[in-house]
Structure 1
Amino acid sequence: MKEATMKAGKTYQRTEYPRPQFQRDAWMNLNGKWKFAFDDENKGEQGRWFDQYTYPSEIIVPFTYETKASGIGEEAFHPYVWYSRTFLIPEEEIGKRTVLRFQASDYITKVWVNGSYIGQHTGGNAAFSFDITKAVDSASENELTVKVEDSQSCVQPRGKQRWINENFGCWYVQNTGIWQTVWLEFLEENSLDHVKITPKVDSNSVVFDYTLHGELPRNSRLETVISFNGKQVKQFTTVLDRSTFHLEVDLAADIHEWKVLHWSPEHPNLYDVKFRLYVDDVLKDEVDSYFGMRKISIKDGKVLLNNVPIYQKLLLDQGYWPDTMLTPPSDEAILEDIDKTLAMGYNGVRKHQKIEDDRFLYWCDKKGLLVWSEMAATYEFSDQAVENFTKEWLDIVQQHYNHPSIITWVPFNESWGVPHIFKDKQQQAFTESIYYLTKSLDAERPVIVNDGWEHTVSDIIALHDYEESGKTLYERYKDMDAILQNKIPHNNHRYAFAEGYQYKGQPIMLTEYGGIAFKDESGWGYGNQVSTEEEFLKRYKETTDAIKAIPEISGYCYTQTTDVQQEINGLLKENREPKIAMEKIKQVNDAT
């Protein structure tokens, strides 16, 4: 077995509450130093490493062993990794349920507590949890052991993680093991599991769908208090006779002359909500949440925000950092990316091939940055790939549903995982099933099926084109009918629709273009590399202006926010240093 060694370097800590959309006071952060081991020969379970084992190294969670921030920084692939640490139950939490939560761990995560097997979870992007109450000892230290199994398989959703031993094209170092916050929550037997919050802008109302845990005693009630900027808007109490129920609440109040405050990029107004569960007048659970009153709809070939057309100016954002890779190093790092995106004149991001940290989405909610949430792709089509993808995607849609900043779901990109979708009826059927499943959970947001290439059913037609000549780009798209009728490929090699599908009046956006890189032998960009700021700005302005000049196109997404490993076409370097004066980018984006 190869041993990992701790390397000295900058210390990163993730101490923030990991799920601000559903926040409690009683929690324990398990990030930080854990014992660690590679298990390349997969001997750990047979050798009972969860029971008695001397781990040879340490790691800083939640950073994967491939990152510098983990203290290891080894990029070679290891399929089995083990973690271990101890924890004490706080005295004030003794007698409550103990729930172990992972915000994300890639890919198969198995858990033991004090040598007892708890369970496993499959998937690298969704959050999951285990009730470990029966396994913990409230009077002494508890040993928590985690094994994570990963692979280079293309049937697991892997996004931009490479599946060979070296980086290639736009695929990067793999992401193995725990990569988001691990934490404990302490709950009474009766508690809130989840509240789905749906704003109804047209009726000035909000819908709450509550799910509670445990068999509810007869004298149970749930209090919901809605406020804005500390001023109470509504308060109501529900006597409980079942564990799931649905309520629609009139939100109109005298806090504003228009009675209701909407959420938008210009005015990211958020209502605060407090949920209190009582049994026999004793408080059993208290959760803080929030929501934004905003509506996404489509009419006459336009995307509407709160019933008004919105021209989307997005950045392709892959969410990588040099020392921490896919894991944001801190709230400050998240805010820097958001603030610089806004400073360059963009109103949103397309989170490319990554389900982002809840803290990122929280700050987008607060700052008013629009988000397209895109699933990590598989790269083969098979029954196993369909099952892996579908299970995890449904979890993600439900977990991130309440974030007002998310305005579009993107389950598929550029035929990845469905390589023969142009003609293959089975692959087409798979994308249709994901579209309708997503709509069954979320009737409000647009769903894009196969962003960039051959669409099947899709609420937006999203095209990719890295043409570097603005004039050529304009000439190509000014005859939009030919593209939409599949008479010509929109980017010289891909058609807008799969066979058997046709344009039905959806909004059209150019959701990847640009990718301009400065001359540098260490990496690549799209098209010819440029030498000067003037050359960059000329090409950026000409291509962006060409897109704006095409009336059928209602938005664009430039590639990309930052350099990522060998892909050096970011507006910012990996360390977030701007390559071009940000105000000059903003001038182009703001120009009409």
Structure 2
Amino acid sequence: MTYRQEYPRPQFVRKDWQNLNGVWGFAFDDDKIGTQQKWYKQASDAFDKEIQVPFAYQTQLSGIHDPSFHDVVWYKREFDVPEDWQDQRVILHFGAVDYRAWVYVNEQFVGFHEGGNVGFSFDITDELVEGKQNVVVKVEDPSTDETIPRGKQYWIEQSDSIWYTRTTGIWQTVWLEAVQPTHLSKLRFTPDVDKGAVDVEFELAGDFVHKNVQFEISFKGEVVINDQITTQSKNTKRSFDLYNHKIFRTSFHHDGWNWTPENPNLFDVKITVRDQDEVLDVVDTYFGMRKVHTENGMVYLNNRPYYQKLVLDQGYWQEGLLTAPTDEDLKKDIELAKEMGFNGCRKHQKVEDPRFLYWADKLGYLVWGECAASPSYSEDAAARLTKEWIEIIERDYNHPSIVAWVPLNESWGIPNVRDNRQQQNHSLAMYHLVHSLDTTRPVISNDGWELTKTDICAIHNYNHGGKDETAKYAQYQEDLATKEAILAAKPAARSIYANGFEHEGEPIILTEFGGIGYKVGEDAGWGYTSVANAEEFLEDYQRIMEAVYSSKILYGYCYTQLTDVEQEINGILTYDRKPKCDLAKIREINDMWHPRTI
């Protein structure tokens, strides 16, 4: 069986593409001799294994399933280029490769990329030959290096506590695409809900002067914009007035055309690039009219206060680790969370597959975007995280489902941020960097504690205690009750703000709590508190939620967590996505107090 055959980039769709997932040749290079011995040569006999791409060698679905350290690995496969691509440029895309990748096509080096979270591509047209093509990828992923953004991937071989099995190498789809020399290369939609318009910015690669770019924008099957722009430069900007169209004046009221979790309305867009009568490029995409901002201590969605009921989502699967076995698995996670009454997730320490964000857009599901952190601080670590975030925002800017960015978490990578000015400056730099790239979303400077400048005061508190620890629970209620109590508490022996910083009126949201451990079957593991059966799980869930909902200052939460992951058995679902209790009861508790909008 060949996995993950769906189109990998749903916000930028072209018809001419070819999926390269499937069986590749594979080799470990523990002695780091592959480059010297020229394993990128087609005659190399070093590839003694096979691997199922896009699954890392540590996973079951890869066919190798080896969790031990192998810091350098190699991939190899042959492919054909369709005959009707002969007069086009051929682009080789990698969805994500962890951590450093060197790519060779037909024995020629075509490019290098560092960063394990976001994709990259190379134009390989000039390296193509007659007949079969050959691609070789060398990957280096230093298993014990604590200065690379590794998130939950443990730098010790055996998983433990909150740390999981590593992902090395290709872990998202590899694919080919055919384009004309002049084609659409960048595209950004910025909705302006207040004006009823969408600002569009795009770039053309190749000969970009005096090309005609047509935008056909549709809503629920009816064309609302059909406009053509003649380019004068590489980068072009245009604003389209949507809400003055007759469909909106006669058929809708209030924000019936805006995007929300309850009504995930999307505008479909077809972009056609022409040189006079010749069609050079056609791209299908979409956007959502959605505004998020903070005001009066609350988060607003489309100018209305919106109570966020999020669930922490690690994005791990038992058979594929960071890679979902199927596209349906990505969709199913969102459907299960919505079934439980959650309206979004905090995607924790992972930049998720674009297919997940596509389903979040389509189904109506808020996402807090986060990136894998490095465990330790260094100047190199700071530079690496900065580079990753530039790429993340460029890739994911257009998703209406993403409503917040979280560049740092629990002082990971900045362990001395409470007092250390250099690390505080890194936190501030990340906050301002993200805002310099995206002015439309809140940024959380250091989710959990020791915040610097931030748009949301995001705090973590697991100190609810067991059902018999009444004094601890009473303290938990007290610590969440008011702004003064929350800001004075030190739930992990860490102050809420770093020295020299203080709360400036931003919304306060409890972004990690709960984590009830419940063992199902033979799985051993841990949680922040423990219960013995489904009935006790629901009782404990309601007990914790009562403390959250009784707070006079919290305007949202993120419960830990959606699923079990390896030794963590604190999910509402098991690792293979089976409910631990009646999900309708979870929804009943989630819906008991605040509605989704207030």
Shift of 1:528: 3.2
Shift of 1:419: 0.2
Mapped pair 1:267 → 2:273: no
Q: Which amino acid aligns with 2:282?
A: E
Q: Is the 8 A contact 2:56 2:171 kept in 1?
A: yes
Mapped pair 1:41 → 2:28: no
Going from structure 1 to structure 2, the CA distance change for 1:115 and 1:590 (only over 3 Å counts) comes to: same
Q: How does 1:142-541 map to 2 (within 5 A)?
A: 142-152=133-143, 153-218=145-210, 220-252=211-243, 253-256=245-248, 257-258=251-252, 261-469=257-465, 470-484=473-487, 488-491=488-491, 493-519=493-519, 522-541=523-542
User: C-alpha distance in 2, partners of 1:543/1:471?
Assistant: 11
User: C-alpha distance in 1, partners of 2:77/2:388?
Assistant: 28
Shift of 1:229: 2.2
Mapped pair 1:584 → 2:580: no
Shift of 1:482: 4.3
1:92-137 Cα shifts (integer Å, max 9, x gaps) = 1112111111110000010001101111000000111111111012
Unpaired runs of 5+ residues, structure 1, are: 1-10
Q: How does 1:18-167 map to 2 (within 5 A)?
A: 18-51=8-41, 52-54=43-45, 55-137=47-129, 139-152=130-143, 153-167=145-159
Going from structure 1 to structure 2, the CA distance change for 1:12 and 1:341 (only over 3 Å counts) comes to: farther
Shift of 1:519: 4.6
1:160-181 Cα shifts (integer Å, max 9, x gaps) = 0011111121111100000000
Q: Is the 8 A contact 2:296 2:505 kept in 1?
A: yes
TM-score by structure 2 length?
0.95
Shift of 1:274: 0.7
Q: Is the 8 A contact 2:528 2:570 kept in 1?
A: no
Shift of 1:489: 3.1
Q: Is the 8 A contact 2:198 2:239 kept in 1?
A: yes
Q: Which amino acid aligns with 1:562?
A: T
Q: Which amino acid aligns with 1:563?
A: D
Q: Is the 8 A contact 1:195 1:208 kept in 2?
A: yes
User: C-alpha distance in 2, partners of 1:281/1:123?
Assistant: 41
Aligned to 1:3: none
1:485-515 Cα shifts (integer Å, max 9, x gaps) = xxx3331512110000011000001111110
RMSD, aligned CA: 1.3
1:70-95 Cα shifts (integer Å, max 9, x gaps) = 11111111011111111111011112
User: C-alpha distance in 1, partners of 2:2/2:62?
Assistant: 9
> What secondary structure, in the 3-state scheme, does the structure 2 residue paired with 1:591 have?
coil
1:520-553 Cα shifts (integer Å, max 9, x gaps) = 7854333331112222222111111111111210
Q: Which amino acid aligns with 1:143?
A: N
Q: Is the 8 A contact 1:560 1:571 kept in 2?
A: yes
> What secondary structure, in the 3-state scheme, does the structure 1 residue paired with 2:147 have?
coil
1:348-368 Cα shifts (integer Å, max 9, x gaps) = 000000000000000000000
Q: Which amino acid aligns with 1:457?
A: K
User: C-alpha distance in 1, partners of 2:252/2:161?
Assistant: 51
Q: Is the 8 A contact 2:480 2:547 kept in 1?
A: no
User: C-alpha distance in 1, partners of 2:464/2:380?
Assistant: 39
The number of aligned residues is 577
Q: Is the 8 A contact 1:12 1:330 kept in 2?
A: no
Q: Which amino acid aligns with 1:508?
A: I
Q: Is the 8 A contact 1:415 1:421 kept in 2?
A: yes
> What secondary structure, in the 3-state scheme, does the structure 1 residue paired with 2:194 have?
helix
Q: Which amino acid aligns with 1:44?
A: G
> What secondary structure, in the 3-state scheme, does the structure 2 residue paired with 1:433 have?
helix
Q: Is the 8 A contact 1:515 1:525 kept in 2?
A: no
User: C-alpha distance in 1, partners of 2:421/2:330?
Assistant: 41
User: C-alpha distance in 2, partners of 1:492/1:211?
Assistant: 47
User: C-alpha distance in 2, partners of 1:84/1:230?
Assistant: 44
Q: Is the 8 A contact 1:473 1:543 kept in 2?
A: no
Q: Is the 8 A contact 1:109 1:120 kept in 2?
A: yes
User: C-alpha distance in 1, partners of 2:482/2:213?
Assistant: 58
Aligned to 1:564: 565
> What secondary structure, in the 3-state scheme, does the structure 2 residue paired with 1:447 have?
coil
Question: Which aligned segments of 4 or more residues in structure 1 are displaced greater than 4 angstroms?
Answer: 519-522
Q: Is the 8 A contact 1:158 1:377 kept in 2?
A: yes
1:400-452 Cα shifts (integer Å, max 9, x gaps) = 00000000000100000000000001000011111111101111100001101
Aligned to 1:8: none
> What secondary structure, in the 3-state scheme, does the structure 2 residue paired with 1:517 have?
strand
Unpaired runs of 5+ residues, structure 2, are: 466-472, 594-598
TM-score by structure 1 length?
0.96
